[in-house]
A and B are shown apart, each in its own frame.
Chain A
Amino acid sequence: MAGEEEIITQLSIFVNNEPGRLAGVARTLKDAGVNMKACNLAESTEFGILRALVDDPEGAFEKIRAKGLIVKKTGLVGVRVEDSPGALFGAADVLGRAGINIEYGYAYSRGGVEAFLMRVDDPGKAVKALGGAGIPLVKSSEI
């Protein structure tokens, strides 16, 4: 599929919003040998959603599920922001014109790669629109 390597797999894990729950989830990931490269925690009053980029997302997904946690895979799109001022604005503008909704996003910075990762309602369409507009995207192999 075109643009597949520009779609980055994120794992989301449901966390009860009680003292010690995040620590419990983090310990489970450690015990399962899952290495987190980036993460973001979204929270509501009584629950949180831990979103993470990990090594070997497919293998990690199975390991986490086997530990009894609720986990879900989602495709993100990452816009490179290190050499191109205004890239984030450009990306948001392109997506807006294409009618693609940005659900949430967070920054990523590691190994010289600086990017803004976005959860959009249709990642395939987003990659095509952004690529067509010349916006530099991160490949999953670069994460």
Chain B
Amino acid sequence: MREYWNPEMECMPAGELRELQGRSLRRLVERLYDFNRFYHDRMRAAGVLPSDIRSIDDASRLPFMYKEDLRENYPTKMFTVPNSEIVRFHASSGTSGKPTVVGYTKGDLEYWTEALARSLTSIGVGSDDVLQVSYGYGLFTGGLGLHYGAERVGASVVPSSTGNTERQLELMQDLDVTTIACTPSYMMHMNTVAKRMGMDIRRDTSLRKAILGAEPWTESMRRHIEESTGVRAYDIYGTSEQAGPMFSECAERDGIHVGGDIMMVEILDPATGERLEDGSEGEMAVTMLKKEAMPMVRFRVKDVASLMKGECACGRTSPRLSRITGRTDDMLIIRGINVFPSQIEYALMRMPEVGDQYMITVSRDGDLDHMTLQAEIRSEAFSDKVEDMVRIRSRIESELKKYLNLAVAVELKAPGELPRFEGKAKRVIDKRVY
């Protein structure tokens, strides 16, 4: 069993890493200035030239990028390479009707897979392991990302994707799966289903590790999962803009190791954009130092976290990220799927039967998240026949499913029934307890 996947990068002295980051950043910015219209203009507006970036300390002179920039440049205007170099697309929820599309070159898939190979090795997953990937395969990055990372370290992959939990549990048992990658809530759901089937994950399977992410979770959820299933649970982080899930805790479970040669993390005061000291919580901005197809420079991820002080007992010198503790925007994560209230608004706006007012309630029924939307119907759409009203409701549900890729229960309300807001609307009630 290897201790490190890439000891040169993972255990590089801090000073050397900063120098490497500085050189990578300079190269990245030179390329973007020459080949990326969007970032060229943004640098010009900020009065900064590639030659101003002499070390990593100069990063703070570079302008930020935001999710809205991706929307405005939808789908591929942000790309800095010719289409012939794109080898894959993934897509995630955008803030309105259009998703965020991420393109990958071979090089992009390479750094992504490398990052996961390091992460898997750091928690002791290698060629003796059977890894069940129960993240969604497809446009979502989780499934394919973990899949290639696991193959890279030589593990046997069970690409079971999401759904059909009973079959997943049978496979887990029959194929002697040792490690699973999924959302924490799906892990809890699997445990519930296993019990119903008269199966005990601890006693009846070889599952010993769980790599959990794609939605917020806490130490108390970790304890609950570990006590009820006997696995050791590890936190993994990454967003589609960065590539996908990439960086995880090591066996010490004392922060998420971020490959500093791949991603530079800054923690900012969300209001001023000023950089905060290590140990302080703030909004993350990430710069993807090896990214080719679609640049990410000081991208405001909107996740709230801190960088940890000191070095990890595992010997890796890489910067460590704390658990993600929240968001600075109104994005919801429901069953691992990102949902922006603005997407729901966009979908509703296109349906003549419903008015402007809506309320979203998110709750957890057992282990799974549920989203309910209350929408006011317009008088013109009202019918004296129940069947017609049920049809309107079903149509709203299927439209939302189409836009969000998520089942939403819809309740029709009479005009004036839902609360009106003066100033900032509060249309989301999240009843989930973490």
Report which A residues bind B (CB closer than 8 A): 10, 12, 14-16, 42-44, 46-47, 49, 51, 65, 68-72, 74, 103-104, 119
Contacts and interface: CB of A to CB of B under 8 A. Distances in A.
A46 B414 contact: no
B416 A72 contact: no
Interface string B370-400: 0000000101001111110110000000000
A141 to B, nearest CB: 22
Interface string B12-37: 00000000000000000000000000
Contact of A70 (B377, B386, B387, B411): B377
B379 A44 contact: no
A14 B377 CA distance: 10
Nearest to B411: A46
A69 B413 CA distance: 11
B379 A70 contact: yes
A55 B383 CA distance: 21
Nearest to B417: A16
Given A12-B384, A49-B385, 14 more contacts: A14-B377, A14-B414, A16-B417, A42-B386, A43-B386, A46-B412, A47-B412, A68-B416, A69-B414, A71-B379, A72-B382, A103-B385, A103-B387, A119-B385
B385 A15 contact: no
A126 B389 CA distance: 24
A66 to B, nearest CB: 12
15 contacts: A16-B414, A42-B386, A46-B412, A47-B413, A49-B384, A49-B385, A49-B386, A68-B415, A68-B416, A70-B377, A70-B379, A70-B382, A70-B415, A72-B383, A72-B384
Interface string B347-384: 00000000000000000000000000000010100111
The 3 A-B residue pairs with the shortest CB-CB distance, nearest first, are A12-B384, A46-B411, A70-B382
Interface string B402-418: 00000000011111110
Contact of B413 (A16, A65, A71, A119): A16
- Interface centre among B384, B386, B413, B416, by most A CB within 10 Å? B384
Contacts of B412: 46-47
Contact of B384 (A10, A65, A69): A10
Nearest to B414: A14
Contacts of A119: 384-385
A47 B417 contact: no
B223 to A, nearest CB: 37
A74 B388 CA distance: 14
Contacts of A74: 384
A47 B417 CA distance: 12
A7 to B, nearest CB: 14
Nearest to B374: A46
A71 B382 CA distance: 8
A44 B389 contact: yes
B389 A47 contact: yes
B373 to A, nearest CB: 11
Contacts of B386: 42-44, 49
Nearest to A51: B384
Contacts of A65: 379
Contacts of A103: 385, 387
A44 B387 CA distance: 9
Interface in B195-219: none
A69 B415 CA distance: 8
Contacts of B383: 12, 72
A16 B415 CA distance: 10
A41 B133 CA distance: 50
Nearest to A65: B379
A32 to B, nearest CB: 16
A19 to B, nearest CB: 14
Given A46-B411, A68-B416, A70-B414, A14 B382 contact: yes
Contacts of B379: 65, 70-71
A43 B389 CA distance: 10
A104 B382 CA distance: 16
Nearest to B410: A46
A42 B386 CA distance: 7
Contacts of A16: 413-414, 417
Interface string B46-88: 0000000000000000000000000000000000000000000
Nearest to A43: B386
A46 to B, nearest CB: 4
Contacts of A10: 384
A115 to B, nearest CB: 18
A76 to B, nearest CB: 10
Nearest to A103: B385
A49 B245 CA distance: 49
